[in-house]
Amino acid sequence: MRNISEDTITQAVLASMDGCGDKRLHRIMTSLVQHLHAFARDVELTEQEWFHAIQFLTDVGHITDDKRQEFVLLSDTLGLSMLVTTQNNRKPAVCTEATVLGPFFVDGAPLFENGADLSNGAPGSPCFVSGRVRGVDGEPVVGAWVDVWQSDEDGYYDVQKVTDAVGDMTHSARGKVCTQADGSFHFRSILAEAYPIPYDGPVGRMLDALGRHPWRPAHLHFWIKAQGYEPLITHVFRAGDQYLDSDSVFGVRSKLIVEWVGHEPGIAPDGTPMDIPFHTLDYDFVLNPTGSDA
Ligand code: BEZ
Ligand code: FE
């Protein structure tokens, strides 16, 4: 393989992978090389621009650690995460749509009884959340685990905050509740507020250079798992938020937008006397049964 030219380099790279025994890897790498080369030709990439891109990816790697996943942020802000989510979650229209997982999910969040306060001291105005989990025929889904996580009123998730002396994180504004016989669940937490994704790194600089902002509209994250149904990873977005039409990670779907209802001091839905204003949110989820090919 010698004297490879501008015109023959793509074919040479593709041929170099002929010995790949993994069909899927071969297909992915073939397409990747074709698209990368086509891209470089299309924009007539300069050496300086190539080096700049390498430097950018190096910076993305350097800032990434177990608390900060800049590669996920890059994928999210380029719309790749939502594209992959959408094309892997095609389901009947009656089902709740999926959105990006995001970088702030924590496996092993604490379990709570229905009605518990998940906020665990996270700063924010009180909010009482209720909902039901159903199947496509309206049947209640009993025993579904509803894993919920959200940022506080300052725009931070617990994982972004300082850990204790031994490096352990204190869970707050996150937890799991289990659906009851009628498919319902409820818990207390705090009011979701809009917040910017972390923008003090290379992805933030990229957004800035592109004239984009880093904000996400106020939302609650849900990951619902139930036997016999496909898992659902989604958000519920707060109606009226100024960033609904410019979410920095392209995750908003109209059917996921809902009114958080404001209340003056009084009795909360779970009977708690409240001497400060509070909000309520009620939202129902519809799961797709496993094995459905819609
Ligand atoms: C989030 O909503 O938690 C999130 C999603 C994508 C990027 C950053 C944050
Ligand atoms: Fe979020």
Per-residue pLDDT of the chain (294 residues; tens, 9 = 90+): 788 999 999 999 999 999 999 999 999 999 999 999 999 999 999 999 999 999 999 999 999 998 889 999 999 999 999 999 999 999 999 999 999 999 899 999 999 999 999 999 899 999 999 999 999 999 999 999 999 999 999 999 988 876 655 566 788 899 999 999 999 999 999 999 999 999 999 999 999 999 999 999 999 999 999 999 999 999 999 999 999 999 999 999 999 999 999 999 999 998 999 999 999 999 999 999 998 655
Q: Ligand 1, closest atom to CA 219?
A: 2
Residue 266 region, left (φ>0) first, then alpha (ψ -120 to 50), else beta?
left
Q: Residue 47 phi/psi, 5° resolution?
A: -65, -35
Q: Give the containing element (helix H, strand E) for 174.
A: strand 174-178
Question: CB neighbours of 152 closer than 8 A, spacing ≥ 6?
Answer: 122, 123, 124, 172, 173, 190
How many CA atoms, within 13 angstroms, populate the side-chain half-sphere of residue 230?
Answer: 22
Rounded to two decimals, what is the model's pTM? 0.92
Q: Which of 76, 80, 84, 149 to mutate to test the pocket of ligand 1 (most atoms within 8 A of CB)?
A: 76
The finding on whether 197 has its CB within 6 A of some atom of ligand 1 is yes
3-state class percentages of the chain: helix first, strand second, coil last, to nearest 5: 25, 25, 50
Report whether residue 102 contacts ligand 1, using a CB cutoff of 6 Å.
yes
